[in-house]
Amino acid sequence: MRLTLALAFLASAVAFPQNPSSIMPRASGTDPAEVRRLVEAGVLPRAKLDDLERAAKDREDQATLDRLLYGSVTVEELTIDQAQEMVAAAERLVARRKTELDRTRALVDAGAVARTELTAYLLDYDQCRRTLDLATSRARLLHELAEMARVELSIEAIPEAPQQEWKPMERFDGDGIFTQRSFNQIELAFEREFGKPLPVSARGETAVHRMLGYDHRGRVDVALNPDQPEGVWLREHLEQLRIPYYAFRAAIPGKSTAPHIHMGPPSTRLRAAD
């Protein structure tokens, strides 16, 4: 897992408003059933009912984004289905904002409304596009976590290469116990050594690991190349503590998207009752 991707996601979450729906069209509060009756009676134009139906769809999609993108659900708790639902909601909002923008632009070109009327629609469309970018980035991060989890689950299938050959994966079977206390000590030691936080990409149990049927509790994944200075230091530190680890040196097609270090014993199968 690339640390830059996770940091980019966090930076985007800070940069974007937490409630972009504040600039989206609001429902007028009119009863849709009453409006439909008046439209069918020819009292109101069909456009009035269309506006109410669009507003209802906006509220539904915005509720999805408030829950999955701007809510308390972390990327480790997000499931693949929820990620797809989140992106789809953002895409629908963009499509509706684009339709409204194009319609207003046509009216401006025809001289029916002032050009200044475009400003609000342009801002609304731009905000929805940025929300879609954020949702897409979060879904991509989840897929990379899933790929990282899959390679961890297939480590036993990777043949051991001869000592003189480059190894895509290396394991250390220490007899120490990896606990929260030892992890805290490792974090502090890393920060003292390099002046920055340990780039953790998955801590303990995640929705991805549960989906794959594996127990990742008591394990931690770190987005470090095992051969870069920070990765070498971490591996040596783990070996001094006798803590087992797995070091992945490269992306493995269909299995891993990036180098990383898995701290703790290998993930085990979840029991049916878990």
Residue 183 contacts residue 121 (beta carbons within 8 Å): no
pLDDT at position 149, please? 67
User: What residues contact residue 219 under an 8 Å CB cut-off, 6+ apart?
Assistant: 178, 204, 262, 263, 264, 265, 267
More confident residue, 143 or 30: 143
Instruction: Break the chain into its structural domains and give their ranges.
Output: 3-153, 161-269
Query: Mind listing the pLDDT tens digit for each residue in 170-186?
Result: 889 888 888 889 899 99
The structure tokens 């904002």 sit at 97
Please report which residue ranges of the chain form alpha helices under DSSP H: 3-15, 32-40, 46-68, 80-109, 118-153, 180-194, 207-211, 229-240
Instruction: List all residues 6 or more positions away from 260 whose beta carbon is below 8 Å from its beta carbon.
Output: 1, 148, 201, 221, 222, 223, 224, 248
132-158 pLDDT, tens digit per residue, is 999 998 888 877 777 666 666 665 555
Structure confidence at residue 160 as a pLDDT band (50, 70, 90): low
| Backbone torsions φ then ψ of 82, nearest 5 degrees | -65, -40
Entry pTM: 0.50
Pairing relationship of beta strands 260-263 and 268-269 according to DSSP bridges = unpaired
Separation between Cα atoms, residue 20 and residue 156, nearest integer Å:
46
161 within 8 A of 167, measured Cβ to Cβ: yes
